[in-house]
Structure 1
Amino acid sequence: MSAARRPGSPTSASRRWSTADDIRAALQRRWDRGELLRAVASNQSWEPIRISLRTPSARELASDFGAVQEWAVRLHQAADAGRSPAFRLETRSVGGRLVGANAVPAAAWFDEPEQVWRLLGVAQEVLALAGLHSLSESAHPAIAAWVAEHPLRALVHQAAWPKVTATVLWLRSRVGSAAYLRQIDVPGVDTKFIESHRALLAELLDAVIPGAADESRSPGKDFARRYGFSGKPAMTRVRSLDGSPLFGAITDALVRVDELAGIELPARRVIIVENEVTFLALPFVPGALAFFGAGFDVLRLGRIPWLRDRDVIYWGDLDTDGFVILDRLRGQLPHVRSVLMDLDTLGAHESQWTTDPTPSRAILQRLTPDEAAAHRVLRDNELGTSVRLEQERVSYACIVAALGAVWTAPVTVR
């Protein structure tokens, strides 16, 4: 096909034919998937890349020869741009009786990796990855393997990578030691660095020491406990509801859960509440203790073995999260009963309803029929959008009556 350029704007058909921008976009997708850098980090020999082009048909060539010619000229110009070819064009023969056979671009070839790096403008990133991979190989083969598998993520942490690798090696040597992360002595690394890179460090630790993470120690996001380090001890607040001392003359105490687990208090009744002021204002109940649950932190009480043979009552907010907490608490203490978490309580306090900013859609399996009915009404917005009744909005008279009903011994107001 002649390389002479003819005037005129592209037709609608020509807009469907591949352009230099389309070629770059195809390479960019490979880059974004990490394919190109994985090959570099793995020291694989370069395999030329072929990008197929959307090309004119014989009919389009015959009906709009000028547009096809202009399209081909533009591709050739893009291929030959710069001091060295940007890419090599593969052609195929298209035509027929009307215009004869014409060689039109069919694919773009990148024979050298530098062509790809120039077109994408990523030569510095490729050089940086080589440095990261070399540093990682010196630190540990598993870290180098992780970099080769996740090159783009490694580049995101490029500036911190020396600290990351040094931190992983320090953590590896102390997994399961019950040391505090505050004891780390890697230059320039502190607990804030560990916290801000927690997910990355966890992945690298799992690569360096498969099976190091022990979910039974602490499921979820507690990085320290999952790898056998000492974390901030779980605390709970407990108060005697009849004035009987807990320890010495103390009737209200904030104590470590692990220590409380080994001290069996004599009270046979226990109520767990979610609001601190409510916790302080609970009425007099003979032989009873109150725990301040503080939301999902209530689940730490499952570590106290002697609660398994106590009469335990849970009172949480009348919202979807309140029922999620109750459901999870029953996973630890199956005999827990609830109070003031029903439709009657909800209906009696309509003027005190507020809106739940983050309602849960969870399906819960451990609720009683009455609890499940209240949960369903809230979850499915049967009374309005995201209705909730916080426990501090429940009338005090209602509290006294409910505790008196759930426990046969008298409940009085002090």
Structure 2
Amino acid sequence: MKALTWHGTHDVRVDNVDDPTIQEPRDAIIKITATAICGSDLHLYNGLMAGMKEGDIIGHEFMGEVVEAGSAVNNLKKGDRVVVPFTIACGSCFFCNKHLYSLCDESNPNAEMAASAMGHSPSALFGYSHMLGGIPGGQAEYVRVPYADVGPIKVESDLRDDQLLFLSDIYPTGYQAVDNCDMEAGDTVAIWGCGPVGQFAIRSAWMRGAGRVIAIDRVPERLKLASEKAGAEVIDFEKDDVYSKLLEMTGGRGPDCGIDCVGAEAHGQGDPEAARRSADSGEANHPNAFNEMTMSVRKGGRLSLPGVYTDKVDGVALHALMNKSLSVKSGQTHMQRYLKPLLRTVEQGLIDPSFIITHRYSLSQAPEAYANFNAKQDGCIKVVMTP
């Protein structure tokens, strides 16, 4: 089959690789009908994620059709249309029983590698470094899905792929980002980063009863989508000092909640080349968005971190975090907790996630798609590919 493989910084290729096969009774093989490039895939593309190996199949946002199911998979059959969550969870360990699926104790075969870097192992993810399992991803024609009796959600409706695909990651991720804010009705929510997760966080905040949503970015197309299509107030951080502007907009108090939808490649004023750093460059890695959020959110406010961080960072504003009595929630998305309720919001017409798509490519054009998405050229906000 054809699959997109990683060969180093800014080097992804469509290669011919072996077809996946059933390896465990709880596996399923999915024929991919749609797949997408996630902003966190750019951390791999830009060399910021440790544990990558040449030839790794990448991609963690995908959906498709079941072509084979293992003997222990009783909920799926050949021909079923499914969306596959990017987190892989066993469904029965200590953490899965607490609905903390992205912390699954069983799904990551390289748990010791992850624990040595992070203190404990999160769940495995599709197509996202050997530290997080080394599980081949879904930017391919076919993919093996471990624990298929727990992860994929079957679609019974006739909704289009592009209306369903983002249930695999960015819609639940944006929604959990708001959930993690412990947001109260009427709150002012500030969101750093108007990429795909940020756009879904904006819409999720409105769904949850936000009084105001303020979105921060520097890319004109993203700011326009946030303001004109989602009703957010916006700040261009290249034109305004975000801290001062937020205080001005909130009567000197600051937003009630802050969401960092940027993560490892957070550009900041005076740091325009942040994305050029590689994982082993030795250059200072400052969490610009997180620090700005920490300084800006009101005393006693709540912070949420859905943005992916790939390594330790320098110069965290802990003094502000502690002295302002801020609370923080973070983590990969507990996908299996959100899939069914969010699928219902799509089926009921409360949201059409396809709004985010700006560019469509075939899988054979994936290297071009990555280069375009990384450079934010031609108004590129979200890329969907079909094998």
Q: TM-score range by the shorter chain?
A: under 0.3
Q: Higher strand proportion, which one? A: 2
Please, what TM-score do these two structures have when normalized by structure 1? 0.26
Instruction: Identify which of structures 1 and 2 has the higher relative contact order when contacts are C-alpha pairs closer than 8 Å and 6+ apart.
Output: 2
Q: Who wins on radius of gyration, i.e. which is larger?
A: 1
